[in-house]
Structure 1
Amino acid sequence: MNLTAVNQTDVCQEYWCPGRSVSLFVYVILYVAAAAVSLLTVCGNLLVIISVSHFKQLHTPANILILSLAVSDLLTGVAVMPFHLTLLIESCWISGPAMCSVFNFVASQATSVSVHTVALIAVDRFLALHSPFFYSEKISPTVICIATLFNWLFSLIYNFILLFVNGNFTDVMCPGKCVYIIDGVSSLIDLLIVFLMPCTLIIILYTHVFVIAKRHATAIRALQVHNRTESSKNRVSDKSERKAAILLGILVIVFLLCLLPYYICSLVIPYSNADLFYVRDVAVIFFFLNSTINPIIYALFYPWFQKSLKLIFTFKVFNKDSSLTNVL
């Protein structure tokens, strides 16, 4: 997550802890809504994790990346969203300085892993369509697991250095507040590594994916004149490829739309005299809501996820050899 570079004194003056300014009814509604969103995020991503982990048919390179994305989204739902939503409701950090450090580290870790995982998914889909023979021979579940592990370790080391090595949390800790600050150069580097580079790669690769899918569709239509039976089989395969590309495109568009408000605020705040910190905190909600939306998109568009849900909710996953069940 891109962190904002500001002056410590200004932050402590502009951040304050007001008393509760809404009625008890509204106060309760806000907490119920916050709990509902967090619970939906946790349950949705937990179902994705159980589905991909349990059914052996789903142990494919693409689904391993989806599993990694679901784990980072689950981390957001468990350890980030409840604290951030509480901060917005209370207008004050009530969990202490130690939890502030943990909260900001976990939020940065989950965010960077999510962005880079979506980039890896784009690379996976591009290779599957552009070089299918290379993909089937070289891109195995083991290779993807190694890439996923490297992604998590890189994010872990990167965020630790960014947040703790240069003493951000020891330099800035206002009473009752959870403020994270890095210098301007580090902020720009973080913006480049966590947002601009992966998102540019995602847009470029998915543009190629849609071009390739369209080219395949044109080639298959040309075959219909020569061999109607064979072209019918190819048409089904091509439709499946295009559907997967469109679905992942929807995931990426939603992902980018959720990220943009926060990063726009992060770019504007250092150069603005206006008090935009609360606006930035509200924009972060859209960032975190992406973790809630992803499992809903899976449920609506992935047949394997729908079948997995039926087996989970009917407790058939506890049957012997249920992991071998056909869910495709």
Structure 2
Amino acid sequence: MAMAIGQAIWAAAMSMLALVGAASAQDWSMSQFDDGSYFSATLAPIDGPGPALVCGERSPRGLSPAATGNLEPDITPVGAFRLYLSDRAIGAPAPQRMIRDDVLIVAGGSGYRLRGLRWNAAFSTWQIDLPATDPSFAAIAAAQEFELRYDGGVRRLSSAGFAAGVGGLSTYCQTMFASIGKPWPATQALPPARQTMRQLAEAGIRQSCGGAAHWTPEAILPAQIDGDGAEDIVVDWHGVTCTTGVPRPNCGAANCLVEVYISALYPRVGAPESTLALGVRLQPLTNGNDALAFAGSLGSCTRTVGQTRCETLSYWNGAALVPLR
């Protein structure tokens, strides 16, 4: 039996997406399809592995699928894109694992977990339906490149052409859905990408200083504290000097402020966790996250011969930083 038209088109697209190449050579391109029975549009990289965004429904021309042979079309929800990921990009399913939660899109320092990726055996690909306003799309559009992180590794992709491509995809999909009496919600503009923790930390330093500041490389530590794939930031004010006003506004005789910008708290809380300490370092944990080792004086811990200070370990418990006992 000949392969259905929709499946043949998708197989060709997946062959293109499965090519392994450098991120710098990658662009994004949108294609449209309407055989009279179903329409679809696809935004995908021209070269290299990566996700493909698709929308589709019955064609306004109203032809029978039996007449066109299109028996496996893409039919997507109103106001959503279907994201496809080739098995060659992130691996085929393990036995009895038809749904997975390990894949992250990381762009601009923020991570977006694809919870509930489902295996499509007909197309040999993973898929999930996402709102057209999903913040991951805005983050990809605003970045020069982004990453796909999964249990088997990391794939880096270029964002060149994505912003224009996703805009064109959204316009086409809205127009076609409206033509068959299924208009998308009125607010379909992509939201702005949220600030990264590094941007927030640097802005927080300048705000505390009342102007410009400079800092040592050790003063701003990139970390993975909450395990969401987005970069968290630890600011140790021992290494920060304000250019104007008080040079070290957040330091006393020995202790300085340590601020922890955790992506899981933004924008719900919107403020860093903070404490006073003699210093801070990152301590890797067995789960792949980082704990924070805050240095304190001997008065805060059990005295040991030859010891001049001690450390208190704190880790993220899913809601807050708590001492590691």
Question: Same-fold call, TM > 0.5?
Answer: no
TM-score range, shorter chain: under 0.3
Q: Which has the higher contact order (CA 8 A, sep 6+)?
A: 1
Please identify which structure carries the higher helix content: 1
Please identify which structure carries the higher strand content: 2
TM-score, normalised with respect to structure 1 = 0.24
Larger gyration radius, structure 1 or structure 2: 2
